[in-house]
Amino acid sequence: MNLTELNKVATAMVASGKGILAADESSGTIKKRFDAIGVESTEDNRRDYREMLFRSKEAMSQYISGVILYDETIWQDAKDGTPLVKLIEQSGAIPGIKVDEGTQALPMCPGELVTVGLDRLAERLKKYYERGARFAKWRAVIDIGSGIPSMTAISVNAHALARYAALCQAAQIVPIVEPEVLMDGDHDIDRCHEVTQRVLNKTFQELRVQRVALEGMVLKPNMVISGKKCPKQASVEEVAEKTVRLLKACVPAAVPGIAFLSGGQSDEEATAHLNAMHKLGPLPWGLTFSYGRALQAAPQKAWAGKAENVAAGQRAFSHRARMNGLASKGEWQSSLEQKAA
Ligand code: 5MM
């Protein structure tokens, strides 16, 4: 393992003014997204859509540091035969790959899930590296509900995240460690804070036990936020303050960066929260976005599967990427949203 090189990649992934595009929707998830815009989820349509994003010059060269791909996409070529990975590299962004294989029910823990995909992971990582991937992603899902999460669910997911991270570093790939506490449910922000604290502490404990070099990884957490169905929604300032305070307590400064998931927040909420956190600086690590839905909802709507809408889809993507790029420096203002194309 060359830790200097891993640290260089991790630092580039969270460079100020840039963030990560999470375009690693599995087949089931991209189908849901396409259903919402009336587009059939065929291999060609998925390729056309993602090619549109990766050919968005402004977004990709100025605001996107890296792209998380799904297995199908990393092996796909653009319409003109150029591998999609090459398009990403040519734009100056770093290609990455989702390597978990989804979730399964956790035995003895009703309603809870464990992420799977460790079998043959070392071999798969080798192939992904040869194809150009320089970072990877693994997402653990922790739900909040009556009597959950159990310590069992937190422990087994943290253990798997650390196993994955160690295998990645041994393969010279930067692991994005993503322990997501879901924002579904009616819990308040303090319950989210309590659960996220347990999850982050256990995750870092496992990372240490399994000798993962913190300098060569990126953390992708949820924000500390009210559940979607909670009657009392915390303000932008409260989310920012509670998230930053918790991260400072749980995430060692050796970690080069933190890149948030959006988790179902609206586009503007996700941007406003990141921006407000930067008003609370200085921060010990890079702090940016690794959004899926909050970067892609607008371009998906604008594109709607029609070739004549590609330019509009790219404008919508570039706008969201620019807004989040500004937020990652604390320079976003809501008035900039009205100037959208
Ligand atoms: C883009 O969505 C990713 C893949 O999800 P599935 O495996 O469920 O298809 C997802 O892991 C994503 O990277 C994170 O949840 C962050 O995305 P959001 O939309 O929450 O920002």
Cβ–ligand 1 distance for 22 under 6 Å, the answer: yes
What local confidence, expressed as pLDDT, does residue 340 receive? 52
Active site residues: 178, 220
Between the CA of 142 and the centroid of ligand 1 the distance, in Å, is 14
Cβ–ligand 1 distance for 25 under 6 Å, the answer: yes
Between the CA of 320 and the centroid of ligand 1 the distance, in Å, is 17
Cβ–ligand 1 distance for 225 under 6 Å, the answer: no
Residue 28 CA: which ligand 1 atom is closest? 9
CA torsion 250-254-257-263 (nearest 10°) is -20
Q: CA-to-CA distance for 146 and 91, rounded, in angstroms?
A: 46
Average pLDDT of adjacent 10-residue blocks, the chain of 341 residues: 98 98 98 98 98 98 99 98 98 99 98 98 98 99 98 98 99 99 98 98 99 99 98 98 98 98 98 98 98 98 98 98 98 86 47
Between the CA of 190 and the centroid of ligand 1 the distance, in Å, is 24
Any bridge partners for residue 177, and if so which?
138, 219
What local confidence, expressed as pLDDT, does residue 339 receive? 53
Cβ–ligand 1 distance for 33 under 6 Å, the answer: no
Cβ–ligand 1 distance for 315 under 6 Å, the answer: no
Q: Is the overall model pTM greater than 0.85, yes or no?
A: yes
Which residue has the CA at smallest separation from atom 17 of ligand 1?
A: 292
CATH-assigned architecture of domain 3-340: Alpha-Beta Barrel (3.20)
What local confidence, expressed as pLDDT, does residue 338 receive? 77
Which residue has the CA at smallest separation from atom 13 of ligand 1?
A: 22
What local confidence, expressed as pLDDT, does residue 341 receive? 47
Cβ–ligand 1 distance for 51 under 6 Å, the answer: no
- Pocket test of ligand 1: the residue of 41, 139, 222, 296 to mutate, having most ligand atoms within 8 Å of its CB, is 139
Nearby residues of 115 by Cβ (< 8 Å), 6 or more positions away = 100, 101, 102, 103, 138, 139, 140, 141, 157, 160, 161
Do the bridges between strand 113-115 and strand 103-105 make them parallel or antiparallel, or are there none, so unpaired? Answer: antiparallel
